[in-house]
Structure 1
Amino acid sequence: MQKAAGLIVIGLCAQWCGTCRDYLPVFDALAKEEPDQRFVWLDIEDEADLVANLEVETFPTLVIGLHDQLLFAGPVLPRLSDARRLLAALWEAHMEGEAPAASRLLPDQRRDYLAIVRHVINTGA
């Protein structure tokens, strides 16, 4: 995928979640393939205050932002090929000026997911 640095990819997970544990190596492999992007694995129980307004019910959930814009927030299948396609499609849509997939979320949901992206930007998490 050819893109400038700046994507922030946040994996929302829980330590007790077996699917999340299975997805972590996939997430790490994607991070190695995309060294110019920022990947953060966030345990929702360790960061309960940050995710308090979200109702994350399906794991793993990815939150993807570009600078101060939310591009995607939702559950994903724990497969590397799916994650690659998702990042490529989001980047392509962004480059073509299309509305991000996250624009379909309810305004409160967008605000709360964007708060996580901003937290990562501001804290260097």
Structure 2
Amino acid sequence: MKLFDPHAAPHALRERLAADSGRRVACYCAAWCRTCDAWRPLLEALADEYPGWTFLWVDVEDSPDWLGDEDIENFPTILVQDRGGTRYWGAVQPRAEHLRRLIDGAADLPALAAGPGSLDALARNQDRGNQDQGDPGSRKPGAGEPEPGRLNRTPRRDPAACRADQPCLPPPSSTPTGRRAGTTAGRDSASARGAEAAAGS
């Protein structure tokens, strides 16, 4: 398996996370995002190029718990992580050479406080949630309840308004819940510094 999907193949992902070296790249995407579509073949190729890394494809509407306490404002958002922490968290255009530089230079980048947190911890939380709630497919949602695993805080976007050559943005009138005011710029600048360091600029 080249791209591990926590919604489509949760057991395979948990086994991989338990056995890998802790070096991970996750693409946080949405089904309606055409820019995300452009990333998939590039990530599959990079997974072949970097067999020591684990590559995840996280649809934020199918797997909202894999966001931790974060919200996504730009799609796709890329996470680069190793045992030392999160090395990059931010929107990246689908260019393999840019992500390759981030992967190659990850160990030299500062650990960031931004991002969803440790993927190992998120996987453990998923396991505990499944044990507490049983099979989420065993009951139908009640009136007004969201479907199991569906994301409410990230707004949908008209696919026609989302082009493959630019980030997909939620509608400007929407305000994702759970985000602390004033933190976006700090995360973006920290991630940008990490990208510049990886690129050698």
Distance 1:77 1:20, change over 3 A: same
For structure 2, the 5+ residue unaligned runs are: 1-20, 127-201
Residue 113 (1) aligns with residue 113 (2): no
Matching of residues 1-125 of structure 1 within 5 Å: 5-51=21-67, 53-67=69-83, 69-91=85-107, 93=108, 99-100=110-111, 102-103=112-113, 110=114, 113-116=116-119, 118-120=121-123
Deviates more, 1:58-67 or 1:47-56: 47-56
Distance 1:14 1:50, change over 3 A: same
Question: 1:18, 1:55 → 2: CA distance?
Answer: 19
Name the count of aligned residue pairs.
Answer: 108
Counterpart secondary structure, 1:42: strand
Give, in angstroms, the shift of residue 122 of structure 1: 7.8
Q: AA paired with 2:106? A: L
Give, in angstroms, the shift of residue 21 of structure 1: 0.4
Percent identity reads 30
Question: 2:63, 2:46 → 1: CA distance?
Answer: 23
Q: CA RMSD of the aligned region, Å?
A: 2.7
Question: 1:68, 1:49 → 2: CA distance?
Answer: 22
Question: 1:30, 1:121 → 2: CA distance?
Answer: 27
Question: 1:26, 1:8 → 2: CA distance?
Answer: 15
Bigger Rg, structure 1 or 2: 2
* Deviation string, structure 1 residues 47-73 (Cα, Å, up to 9, x no partner): 123326322111111112112622211
Q: TM-score, normalised by structure 2?
A: 0.47
Q: Are the equivalent residues in 1 in contact too, given 2:24–2:82 (CA < 8 A)?
A: yes
* Deviation string, structure 1 residues 4-45 (Cα, Å, up to 9, x no partner): x43111110111100000111111111110011111111000
Q: Are the equivalent residues in 1 in contact too, given 2:68–2:116 (CA < 8 A)?
A: no
Which protein has the bigger strand share? 1
Counterpart in the other structure of 2:166: none
